[in-house]
Amino acid sequence: MVPTEFPACKAREILKARVRADLKVYAEAVSALQRSLGQDFKKASRNAERARLAFETASKRLADHLQSHGCG
């Protein structure tokens, strides 16, 4: 069975790259959170939450694009 080929879509590639970048930042923020203590923990927790929200937003934008554009 041959996978379905989707047309090239620059917006899709940009959105996918944003999701990958935001996931990397989120993973790094969670790692920093695991290593932190005290006041550093509070700051790391805020950073991890911001990173999580950015990743979720990027993921939703990609999903919305794929659904509306049909390129995915």
- Cα separation of 35 and 37, whole Å? 7
- Cα separation of 42 and 37, whole Å? 8
pTM over 0.75: yes
Are 58 and 26 in contact, with CB atoms under 8 Å apart? no
- 39 — pLDDT class (breaks 50, 70, 90): confident
| pLDDT cut 70: percent of the chain above it | 89
- 6 — pLDDT class (breaks 50, 70, 90): low
**Domain assignments of the chain as residue spans, ordered by start:** 10-69
Residue 14 pLDDT greater than 50, yes or no = yes
Residue 46 pLDDT greater than 90, yes or no = yes
Q: What are the Cα distances from residue 48, in Å, to 23, 28, 40, 63, 66?
A: 11, 8, 12, 22, 27
